Structures are given as C-alpha cells and as structure tokens.
Structure 1
Amino acid sequence: MNHYSETIIIGAGAAGLFCAAEIGQHGGEKITVLDSGKKIGRKILMSGGGFCNFTNLDVSPSHYLSQNPHFVKSALARFTQWDFISLVCEYGIAYHEKADGQLFCDNSAQDIVDLLEDRCKKAKVDIQLRQQIDSVEPIENDPKVRFKVRANGVDWTCRNLVIATGGLSMPALGASPLGYKIAEQFAIPIIPPRASLVPFTYLENDKIFTALSGVSLRVNASVGHQVFRGDMLFTHRGLSGPAMLQISNYWQLNEPVHIDLLPDQTIVDLITAQKAHSPNMQLKTALSQVLPKRLVELWIEHQRLTLGDKTLAQISKADLQSLTELIHQWQFHPNGTEGYRTAEVTLGGVDTQFISSKTMQANQVAGLYFIGEVLDVTGWLGGYNFQWAWSSAYACAKAIAESAI
C-alpha cells in the first residue's frame, strides 16, 4: 500500500515539528512527519535541565559556526527570536531570563512540546511514530511525486521531502547519521561531524582534580582568539560548565585550553592590597578567600602550589609571577571530550554550500530540504540552536507553501 503526502518530514524534533506546523498554517497540503521514536520532541524535553532554553534575547549570525558563515543570515532575519517569543506569549507560556539573555520556561520544557503539538494538530499534520526509515529513493520525471520513503516496510511518496533528523548528539534519544546518509545519497557533501558543546576529559596527570567534583567557579576560557566567560565545573571525568562547553566548539585535538581562574581581578593586585594590612596572613588563607578552598588545598597537597605556608610579607616578585601563571594562565590539556553521549549538539553536517540559504532546499535536487541541526550550522550555548531550528524550519515551510500556490 502506498501513502501519499505533498510533504514528508523525517524527524519529530524542534525543527521538524515547527516546519510541519508552519506549512500547515497555509492549508491545503497533506503533511506527514515520520519519526523513529516513541514520542515527539524528545530532545526538547531534555534541554535546559528540563526547562528548555528556547531562544535568546540577543541573536545574531556571529553566534553561529559554519564553514559558510553567511548562510544563517537570511533565515535568522526572516524569523527572529522575537517572532518565537510572540508565539510563546500567545500560548501563555511563562518564561524567565537567565544570564546572557537566555530564555527558559518557568514550568517545563513540555510547554514547548505542547505548543508544537497543538499547532501541528490545528494544521492536521499526520505524525507517525516508531517509523524506522528503510530507504529514500528519488522518483524521476514526475514533479508531483519526487520521492519514495520506505518506513517499516511501507512506502510513502511525496513531492517535498524535508530532512530534520538532527545530528549525532545524545544517541540515547535516537540520534543517528540518517540525515547525512540521505544527503550523500543525493551527492551533497558532509562537513565531518564531531561532538559540540561538550565537556572535556582529563589526561592522567590531571586526574587529581577528580577530588574536586562538584566545585565550580567563574573563569575565562580561551582557544586562540576566542574567549568565553562563564562558570567552569570540575567533574569526576573532566571539566564542564558553560565556559567549557562554549570553548569546546573552537578546540582542536592536542590543543590546550587557556583558563583564567580569577578573571575579575589580578592575583598581584589582590596580594599587594592584602599584604598592606595583613602581612602575616598565610598565602593559602588569602587565596582561599577568592578561590575555592578545596582547589587551593589540592594544589598544596600535590605540590602545584609550594608557597602556601608563606606569609604575604614573604611573597617575592618571582612568587607573584608563579601565582600569575598558576591562576591566570592555566594551560589545561584535555585528553579529549566526552563525545556524543553528553554533547548538546553536533558540529559539522550537511554542507550548506549545496543548500539555498533562503529556502533550505538542495540546490541540485528539487523538493529536497534540510533544516535544523543536520546542517553544518552550530550555535553557541544559550538558546541559539533552538532559534536556528525555528528559523530554518520557517524558511523551509514558507518556500514549500509558496511552491504549492
């Protein structure tokens, strides 16, 4: 038996559901969403600690990484963060702002999934779950029926096929390379993917820091000219927290991450000022006032800090230089990252040089579209990847709706 829809979308995540709903707003078209999971929006529900960081107040192309950096401009301009915020308000979803313009649901990420599901229902979108995609084939010489998708042994045909399969991050939620394989089948190259927005792991000689698991502090983390300020968290496997996740996008294997553990003041000024009125204070006491005490104690225990018992009056210029290097110029050499298991998103993906930035359609394959994370577009931590899902989905939906007129 053959099932026909004008548009089939593979993937019931943020981009796929939003695209389906937006196409449906224009009416007339039959839209089917196929997904391998048991329920829709699985990654949405896990995001933002279960509260979904659905966008950011400050969104610009500079917040995105891509081999083709201009690609995001058109879509982001045509459906902005304010457009999605208006939709959130229309549904009466309470939200709040955290640091750096990040917007989260007050109640639960389920509110965003409910919004998308309601809009899909109003648009009469047919959502088919537990659909294992067996194959995708082009159908030649028929502008109304361009593709055949086989799922669970059943054939589905369509005029428009939208790939919203996401990347490889969080495989426990059903991530797979399906979208990349479909692109390659149609001669569209893939920028090699890797885990993105992901914690670092320790080399053997840094495993002493496992004793600090749960300790966090505000740092500057940098690779090359890229610097991020934010919290860093010691874990039993490595370094995590927003600053580490952000800089992971720019890090290359065997490259050090430069970390300033005291970014808001210099240790030289601090010791000099403290020395003036408490010359007999021990250095370890002074350091514990501005850095986590457990970190200072661990440095002393493992002889990474040998000055701890000195008084401030005994600290020399050479000692201050050593402290500067220890605190402001830590060169952390990661063993690697935790990989896709804990990565927020995937860096790399479908080469955007082969995709229209206005419509998300493949340049050489009429009716084939790619949206969301499957593309070589990666946003910073802070709601930017969701905004790319909304914006790219909108651009695709608008193009499909207009092509049906």
Structure 2
Amino acid sequence: MAGHRVYRELPHIGRTCMQRAVIVLPTYNEAENVAVLLPRIFARQEEIPSHELHVLVVDDSSPDGTADVVRAMMADNPNIHLISGRKKGLGEAYKRGFRHALDTLDPDLILEMDADLQHDPAMLPVFIDLARHGFSLVIGSRFALGGSTPNFSLRRRAISLLGNWMLRFMGGLPPIRDCTSGFRCIKADLIRKCDLSFLSTKGYSFQSSLLFELIRNQARVIEVPIVFPDRISGKSKLSFADQSEFLLNIFKIRFRKSEEFLTFSAVGASGVVVNLGIYTLLTRSVGAPLEIASPVAIELSIIWNFLLNNVLTFRKRASEASFRTRFIRFHVVAGIAGVVNYAILLLLARGLGLWDIGSNLVGIGFGVLVNYFLNSRWTWRESCIPSCGDRAGQLPPQSS
C-alpha cells in the first residue's frame, strides 16, 4: 500500500475544465430518502469548483417506486442518471454501477454513498479536496478519532468494532479503523486497476473485499472522521446471510494474500518437521517422557520458525521494531501457540488415550494457526494508518 498522510487544509487550485465526480448510489425501497438526498448532494456543487457532480442511482427494481422518483428528478437535472436491475445484493449493485460509470460517464472520481441519509453530503467537498491532492482512497470513518456513532446501541457498536478487528487481525488488512465504511471517494483510475471479478461477495461484505482490492493496487489512503446517525426513513437491509457472508469473506481476503500466506505455510511445514523430528528423537531414542520432549521440541521449532519468517515471509514489511524486539514478540506469540499445542496434546494423548504422535500433530496444527494470526498482526505489524482527526487543528466531523 502506498503512503498515508494526515489531512491539512489545502489551497484550492482552479481548473480550466471541470472533471466529473460520480456518486454511485445503490437503492432498494428508498423513495422517500432519495427525494431528500439528491437535492442535498447537488447543493454542495458550489463548494466543489474542481469537479462536476453526477449521481448514478443503481436501483434494484424497488417496489416502492424509487426509480419513478429518480426519473422525475432526472427531467430537471441532467446530472442524475439511473440504471435498474434485479435485486442481487449491495455488492452486485456497486459493481454494476462502477462499470456503467466507467464506461459511459468518464469520471475522475467515483464515490460510494448510502441512500438512507446516514452519510452527510456536507463531507463531499472534503473528500474531493483530499482526492485532488494525492489521496486515491478517502474513507469516511465512524471509528477514527473524531468520528462517532451516536445512536448505536452497545451491542451494535461492539459488533461493528469486532467485525473491523476481525478484518484487520484475521483478514490481514492494514490497521484502517473503519474497514466496512460505505462512504468513500476513490480515484477512477484506481478502480480500473482492480479485479472486480474477485469481488464475488454480493452483500455488505463487498465493502471489505473492495477495500482489500484497492489496497492491493497501492491505494494512498486517508480516513476522515464522520458522524453516522440512525436511519430517518426505511429499514436496515442487513440480513443473517450478509453476516454469514462477512465471516466467510474474511478468509477469502486472507487467502488472497497468497505469497505471504504460502511462504508462512511452507515455513510452518518445516517447523512441523523440526518439531516432530525432535520429539520423536527424544521419546524414542533418548527415552524422554512426552511431558519433557514436547516442550523441548516446541522451543526449538519456535527458534527455527522465527529465523525463516524473518528472512522470508515478512521480509517486505517495513518494521520499526529491532531484530531483538521481533524475536521477543515472536517468542511470546509462539509461546502462546506452544501452550495451545501442549494443552491439546495432553488432552488427546493423556485425557482421551489417543496416539501421541497423531495428538501432537493436531496440537501443532492449532498452534500454527494461532502463531500466524498473532505474528502477522503484532510481531511484524504494518505501520498504523493515521486519520484526519489524529492531531490537533484538523478538520472536525461535520453534520447536516
């Protein structure tokens, strides 16, 4: 991922020809909301001298007449566009909208925005100003310093924070605070680089898949704190299927990082050989009991895995930590994984009376998983991405 900067107020630079910023607006049963939202969006045009605003409504054949409301507004505003299709989910709507915008509207910027009035159009000038000055991905962040979700219940906030933590920790995304935000400004050229066919998620997990794909293509990212209120009209469309897809998508994102994951797996496999070889030698040739042989084998495999991961798996990661600090962190993490390994071995071999070699192999498998997730997110952690609200004197969140 390319570099990240903290936002400062930047001077406006006049352009002789306005470029286009296309807001892709998926809708399903949002007739009341779009009638309010679209005028609010175009009311911000005067604050955006560099870009001409266009809105592309992607309606999934809403039965409440959303498309009819949009068509009536199109008669008075040529910058409003509409495409319709069958209801296939938020992700499919966005992909359809992206392709249509890129093919027919020649945008410089593409923005994502919800139609339910939870995203404040007052932030559009800020997003576009940042995009003009080098940021290819601007994220409206509920969880960056200065952002807020004032009407979230404790349960809803906990679920949102947990989901973002899982994407960073298990999915391997950089430390972006709001990985699932649906309020973004993206350079069109960056979207053109993306493999939209990889974004197979149809529901709300599309946002995390898209974020990963944008970062994979070297997005220069900044988060802007936003206030995220409750819906004024209509109902949330987040379903159980969306939540299940979100969990599955985390693993899809992780496996997409193939080079690092495969290298780590190869190192882990060599560590298994070291662990089992030493364990077998100690128990069969030396006669050591498994209570001694297993910890020794685990310790030596920890050192082996650290050395190989440091020079192979994570060699491309810039780390401020010294070799000694990384070794200590790796040892702590591997120690935790070792405890998991050892506990499972004892449970299966001593508690259930199963074959000790097979039991140790099962314990090693669980230990490797713990080892990978903790080390990729802590020992060789990538630098944290600051946001607009991280320092004093920066732009506060706005509300309408």
Question: Per the shorter chain, which TM-score range?
Answer: under 0.3
More helix by share: 2
| Larger strand percent | 1
